[in-house]
Amino acid sequence: AQKVTQAQTEISVVEKEDVTLDCVYETRDTTYYLFWYKQPPSGELVFLIRRNSFDEQNEISGRYSWNFQKSTSSFNFTITASQVVDSAVYFCALKGSNTGNQFYFGTGTSLTVIP
Amino acid sequence: DVKVTQSSRYLVKRTGEKVFLECVQDMDHENMFWYRQDPGLGLRLIYFSYDVKMKEKGDIPEGYSVSREKKERFSLILESASTNQTSMYLCASSLGDIISGGGGYTFGSGTRLTVV
Comparing alpha-carbon positions, the chain B residue that sits nearest to A39 is: B109
Burial of B15 (0-12, 13-18, 19+ CB in 10 A): exposed
pLDDT band of residue A38 (cuts 50, 70, 90) is very high
Comparing alpha-carbon positions, the chain B residue that sits nearest to A91 is: B42
More confident residue, B24 or A31: B24
- Cβ neighbour number for residue A113 with a 10 Å cutoff: 20
Contact of A92 with A106, CB cutoff 8 Å: yes
Percent of chain A surpassing pLDDT 90: 68
B103 has pLDDT over 90: no
Asked whether the beta carbons of residue A93 and residue B96 sit closer than 8 angstroms, the reply is no
The amino acid at residue A32 is Y
What tens digit of pLDDT does each residue of B84-96 get? 999 999 999 987 6
A40 has pLDDT over 70: yes
- What pLDDT score does B55 carry? 92
pLDDT band of residue B4 (cuts 50, 70, 90) is very high
- What pLDDT score does A76 carry? 96
- What pLDDT score does B102 carry? 57
- What pLDDT score does B96 carry? 67
The DSSP code sequence of A57-107 is --EEETTEEEEEEGGGTEEEEEESS--GGG-EEEEEEEEETTSTT--EE--
Q: Say if A91 is an interface residue toward chain B (CB within 8 Å).
A: yes
Comparing alpha-carbon positions, the chain A residue that sits nearest to B10 is: A43
Q: Average of pLDDT values for B51-63?
A: 92
- Mutation for A interface: B6, B11, B43, B93, most A CBs within 10 A: B43
* Cβ-proximal residues to B86 (8 Å cutoff; 6+ apart), any chain: B113, B114, B115
